[in-house]
Structure 1
Amino acid sequence: METTQSDYSIYRQVVTQLMNDQEQLPSLPMLTLEIRQALARPEVSMIQLVRLIGKDPALSALLMKYASSALLRTRLAPKTLQDVLRVLGMQQVDRVVMLHSVKSLFVLHSPGHKLLFVDAWQRLILKASICGFLARKVGQVPADHAALASLLSEVGSLAVLSAFKGGDLVPTPARYHSLCQAYGKSLGVMLLKKWTVDEAYVDIVREAGNWTLQRQRQIELLDLVNLSLFHAIQVADHGSDLPALTSLAAYAKLNGSHNEVAADGSLALVSQHWDEIHELAAVLR
């Protein structure tokens, strides 16, 4: 049945109510806050951190997988959580903790909501993996920093689903996409401010998808996020109305070894390394 304006207005009303009552937005889990606070303390011991992180077996497993992944290419795979902390360092651990937490924040109220969430999460993880891969290849920005920024840049899309408290109101994929377009950025900014994350991530939410913005000559975090966004859209929707890759401000900053364009209009650097990108996505998923 064709969607009427009055039909769509019901969904808009639900999301608007969420934005007007920000207490309903998900908070970071208490354990995540404890880990992040501990990581920020210079005097914290390795034993204390291992004990704290070990309370979440899924997080411990993710950190082990991430520290052993192709993204880092360590000589010897870490065997213990203590090894992982040494390999990654405090900043990387903090970012992986955030990556892990985001997925668990959103309570889904029906199989229909779960399908929308899973589809969105798969796309966000692929985009984050492209971003992390590009960061490692291009340099300038740590790969884990780029991956987290890419994921958080669209966290508002996940927050849209948290507006639907009952299982009886499930937007179609097209309606969900429209809601994300209308409210995703605003919700993303609200969430990240609530979580008191680095202001750099909030700025990324605001500017992601601004293809022509150029603030400095050297490639920066936003450029990597926009390049990954471009490729994720291209993968998800071949007929989308994307600009030419070569018109992006981010593309102009790539040097000669990284700026080759493949026949499909993507970066050859991406199209020739999908195996590595999907390997990272498997770790983060």
Structure 2
Amino acid sequence: MNTMITPAGKSATLGGKYSLITNVCAMDSSVTAVQSDYSVYRGVIGDLLSGQEQLPSLPSITFEIRKAMGQQDLSMMELSRLLAKDPALSAVLLKYASSPLVGSQTPPQNLLDVIRLLGMNQVERITMVHSIKSLFSVHSVKHKRLFLEAWRRLALKASVSTYIAKHMHFKNVLPDNVLMAALLSEVGTLAVLSAFRNSDDTPDIPAYVALCREYAKSLGVITLKQWQVDEQYLKVVQEIGNWKGESPGPPNLSDLINLGLYHSLKLTHTKTDLPPIQELTAYQKLEEPENSVVAGGLTFVMSNVQEIRIVAKSLF
């Protein structure tokens, strides 16, 4: 068991000052007004970081499930009864176990079937996925739009990363950890959004993106430390988007997630200033024939986009 979860209700704090953003995107002619609005948004995030507002905490059912799974004598039947206490989680597990990502010829009919098919470790990870999504309830149409956009991008990145992991068979990367790592790597962007759950002012998409660039990594690391997740996931958050970082040795979990992020940005045309894939540290660790490139991405990814999107939809 790699993931340790603490009970809901704890909050993490970070003291000190925060560096001012140096390049605010002005979306109209009223630059001063845009900067003023952004200053208000930064104040909300500052309150979250300084401990005036609680960071997102995992649901108590997640802690209960994790605690039970730490028992060596836990039976599949006992786990299925515990999972059944959360109907929404049960539905997510059944949907995931029936998805192309799993590829079972006989779709599961109940939670016991799901546990037999996925195994307890994977059930734990899917529970975490559901818990992360459930943390970020929406409070307005604008808030919902931002959440759906963030989760849609997150699901695609997770799907691409998982597909690459299954195709590449990295010796030092466990495929079961990939989905978890991809999702946890975006906790900071969701935490930025959660800062506005009780606020009357919700940022628009450009302001939200700017806030994520400034705060997402810090919020992600603090939140995951609060949840006491395995150190390997913290490292992924710290290295996400670092295309040319120093990372000696064979491809690792951070490399894989960065490849997933790169392709998800390319597929959604979210970022137009991406470096050529050949310049990525993660790419330079790949060997033939997996390093074949077409349309600016790995051939085996770009040739199977439809399948990847189906898997992403199953996570949505």
State the TM bucket, normalised to the shorter chain: over 0.9
1:98 corresponds to 2:98: no
**Which of 52, 66, 82 is matched with 2:82 structurally?**
52
Q: Tell me the amino acid that sits aligned with residue 274 of structure 1.
A: V
Q: Which whole-Å CA distance do the structure 2 matches of 1:196 and 1:238 have between them?
A: 31
**Which of 261, 272, 285 is matched with 1:229 structurally?**
261
- Shift of the alpha carbon at 1:176? 0.5
Aligned to 1:183: 215
**Which of 217, 234, 243 is matched with 1:211 structurally?**
243
Number of residue pairs aligned between Structure 1 and Structure 2: 284
**Contact 1:109 1:167 (C-alpha < 8 Å) held by counterparts:** no
**Which of 114, 117, 121 is matched with 2:151 structurally?**
121
- Shift of the alpha carbon at 1:184? 0.3
CA shift digits 1:229-259 (9 cap, x unpaired): 1111212336621111011111122221211
1:137 corresponds to 2:174: no
Q: Tell me the amino acid that sits aligned with residue 166 of structure 2.
A: R
CA shift digits 1:115-135 (9 cap, x unpaired): 111111101111111011111
CA shift digits 1:152-175 (9 cap, x unpaired): 111111111111144520211111
1:274 corresponds to 2:274: no
1:159 corresponds to 2:199: no
Deviates more, 1:232-241 or 1:26-35: 232-241
Q: Tell me the amino acid that sits aligned with residue 105 of structure 1.
A: L
Q: CA RMSD in A?
A: 1.7
1:220 corresponds to 2:252: yes
- Shift of the alpha carbon at 1:69? 2.6
After TM superposition, the score normalised by the length of structure 1 is 0.94
**Helix, strand or coil at the partner of 1:149:** helix
Deviates more, 1:156-165 or 1:67-76: 67-76
CA shift digits 1:83-137 (9 cap, x unpaired): 2212212211111111111111013322111111111110111111101111111
Q: Which whole-Å CA distance do the structure 2 matches of 1:177 and 1:242 have between them?
A: 16
Deviates more, 1:226-235 or 1:21-30: 21-30
Shift of the 238–114 alpha-carbon distance from structure 1 to 2, 3 Å rule, reads closer
CA shift digits 1:173-210 (9 cap, x unpaired): 11100000000000001111111111111111111111
**Helix, strand or coil at the partner of 1:84:** helix
- Shift of the alpha carbon at 1:66? 2.1
Q: Which whole-Å CA distance do the structure 2 matches of 1:147 and 1:123 have between them?
A: 14
- Shift of the alpha carbon at 1:10? 1.1
**Helix, strand or coil at the partner of 2:251:** coil
Query: Which segments of 5 or more consecutive residues in structure 2 lack a partner in the other structure?
Result: 1-27
After TM superposition, the score normalised by the length of structure 2 is 0.85
Q: Tell me the amino acid that sits aligned with residue 45 of structure 1.
A: S
- Shift of the alpha carbon at 1:57? 1.9
- Shift of the alpha carbon at 1:143? 3.3
Q: Which whole-Å CA distance do the structure 1 matches of 2:60 and 2:31 have between them?
A: 41
**Which of 17, 21, 37 is matched with 1:7 structurally?**
37
- Shift of the alpha carbon at 1:22? 6.8
- Shift of the alpha carbon at 1:75? 4.3
- Shift of the alpha carbon at 1:215? 3.0
**Helix, strand or coil at the partner of 1:217:** coil
Greater fraction helix = 1
**Contact 1:71 1:136 (C-alpha < 8 Å) held by counterparts:** no
**Contact 2:247 2:281 (C-alpha < 8 Å) held by counterparts:** no
- Shift of the alpha carbon at 1:272? 0.8
Aligned to 2:60: 30
**Helix, strand or coil at the partner of 2:232:** helix
Query: Which segments of 5 or more consecutive residues in structure 1 lack a partner in the other structure?
Result: none
**Helix, strand or coil at the partner of 1:212:** coil
**Contact 2:265 2:271 (C-alpha < 8 Å) held by counterparts:** no
**Contact 1:106 1:158 (C-alpha < 8 Å) held by counterparts:** yes
**Which of 201, 217, 228 is matched with 1:169 structurally?**
201
Q: Which whole-Å CA distance do the structure 2 matches of 1:45 and 1:239 have between them?
A: 47
- Shift of the alpha carbon at 1:273? 0.7
**Contact 1:71 1:143 (C-alpha < 8 Å) held by counterparts:** no
